[in-house]
Amino acid sequence: MHTPTSELNDERIIDSVLAGDIDQFEEILKRYNSVMYRVGISYLKNTADAEDAMQSAYIKAYLNLSSFRSTASFKTWIIRIMINECKMMIRSKRSSWNILQIFQRKQQQTNYYLSHDHNVVTSELKKVLENVVLQLPSKYRLVYIMREIDGMSVKETAELLNITPENVKVRSHRAKELVRKEIMQLNHNNQLFDYHLNRCNPFRARVMSEIRKAGTPAMKD
């Protein structure tokens, strides 16, 4: 009996891709687009830059699938690639960026995030919270998004940011203190920094087009 792709674990999907079924890699994008986008927006604070970093990270992950070892989770592996891409992008743009420009951009960018949400009241509240989160110092913002929005464990967050679990806990507590209490009481079911289908689907098609051009990655040793 054929197992639906959505029910396969990451390792089985990777094995299928390495065996030549390139289209299976699209399931990886479906599973991780949201978390990859939130990591990107947390570092880069810009949707276009986040998508550029995502595309580069996915292609690098695809081309290096054979180097993935299941001793670590695939989620951690691919997010680490994304973080590295974001850091490289920041370094490459640092000479032309400044704090004023970043915050001038922010107001324009946040108009997009929930523009297609039909619940106007909830949408506005989410925009306010997203603005607050984006203005947190980066060391708090990253921990807040990973722990409070994406639900990563203390251990996962510590590994991804190369800090101690104790530091994760301290930064998480401090981040919560910096976010206004009334905003923190938003319905937990309203996901922040959503990666809406009107952007997710075209992005997925674009990445898969590049993936198919690359051919099948090398088999595992």
Q: What pLDDT, in 10s, does the model give residues 36-60?
A: 999 999 999 889 999 999 999 999 9
* Most confident by average pLDDT, 102-106, 125-129, 145-149, 180-184: 145-149
Q: What pLDDT, in 10s, does the model give residues 162-181?
A: 999 999 999 999 988 887 54
Tokens of 46: 């810009």
Cβ–Cβ under 8 Å, residues 27 and 207 = no
Domains and CATH numbers, the chain: 10-97+194-221 (1.10.1740.10), 115-193 (1.10.10.10)
pTM of the model: 0.68
> Which H, E and C letters describe 26-81, residue by residue?
HHHHHHHHHHHHHHHHHHHCCHHHHHHHHHHHHHHHHHCHHHCCCCCCHHHHHHHH
Is the pLDDT assigned to residue 5 strictly greater than 70?
no
